[in-house]
Copies of this chain bind each other. A is one copy, B any other.
């Protein structure tokens, strides 16, 4: 049996302890896996009764669009992340899901997930915790966009990404490849591609980071955290 969902189960388990029976129940869910290219929509804002989506491999992001077509990226999701937790309980999707690079995404029938949650309180508990952490991160994004300037937003983004990736054992904290172009980085931070570029150069000039293309190296993590006003508590990492 190929346990497609095991990165997800691992992550879930780190938020609320699951016993073998719980895990087995998750693994027995019927899933269909599809692969998506960069910048292709996996689910659309407004979708009704969408599948429950789990990112199996690669990167994905969630997005909302403005009436005039501007977009805001809401997350940078990695291996094992659920992509539309709240869609389980809401009649329609308030945001879209977008693949980056070659993302492998598992589709699970939402009704079965809900039955699973009803039958396994510990899984429900873990889902709720996952949703709470996600909400905490979203609130930090509001603080970021509302109160911090461009340089801080960018520094913060880098710190956050590094911290999350390292906590998951996916990359080292001070050297990694970002799955975002500078334009996408702008859509995530509420800045222009041009301004992202300038702020990155400023971080380089200040000796906080180096980068060649999308490969980043953090030279002075303490200073970068200060510049980004980053405290990792809100991530609730282990």
Q: Are B145 and A145 in contact (CB under 8 A)?
A: yes
The answer to whether A139 has its CB under 8 Å from any CB of chain B is yes
Q: Is A131 on the interface with B (CB-CB < 8 A)? A: yes
A11 within 8 A of B: no
When the two chains form the complex, which single residue of B129, B140, B229 contacts A94, counting CB atoms closer than 8 Å? Answer: B140
Is A181 among interface residues, defined by CB-CB distance under 8 A?
no
* Chain A contact surface mostly: helix
- How many monomers of this protein are in the complex? 2
Quote the shortest CB–CB distance from A149 to chain B (angstroms). Answer: 10
Whether a CB of chain B sits under 8 angstroms from the CB of A164 is: no
The A145-168 residues at the B interface (CB cut-off 8 A) are: 145-148
- Residues of the B chain whose Cβ atoms lie less than 8 Å from the Cβ of A72: 142-143, 146-147
Interface residues of A in 3-19 (CB under 8 A from B): none
A124 lies within 8 A of chain B by Cβ: yes
CB-CB < 8 A to A133: which residues of B? 90
One digit per residue, 1 when the CB lies within 8 angstroms of any chain B CB and 0 when it does not, for chain A 199-233 equals: 00000000000000000000000000000010101
Q: Does A92 contact B (CB under 8 A)?
A: yes
Q: Which residues of B contact A147 (CB under 8 A)?
A: 66, 70-72, 190
**A46-B95 in contact (CB<8A):** no
**Is B129 a contact partner of A132 (Cβ separation < 8 A)?**
no
| CB-based contact A128/B131 at 8 Å | yes
Taking A89-B129, A90-B136, A94-B136 as contacts, is the C-beta distance between A142 and B233 under 8 angstroms?
A: no
Q: Which residue of B lies closest to A92 (CB)?
A: B233
| A134 touching B132 in the complex, CB below 8 Å, given contacts A68-B229, A72-B147 | no
Question: How long is the Cα–Cα vector from A5 to B67 in the complex, in angstroms?
Answer: 38
Chain B min CB distance to A181 (Å):
17
**Which 7 pairs from chain A and chain B are nearest by CB?**
A146-B190, A145-B145, A86-B132, A94-B136, A67-B229, A70-B147, A72-B143
Q: Which residues of A contact B (CB under 8 A)?
A: 46, 62, 64, 66-68, 70-72, 74, 85-86, 88-92, 94-95, 118, 121, 124-125, 127-129, 131-136, 138-143, 145-148, 189-190, 229, 231, 233-234, 236
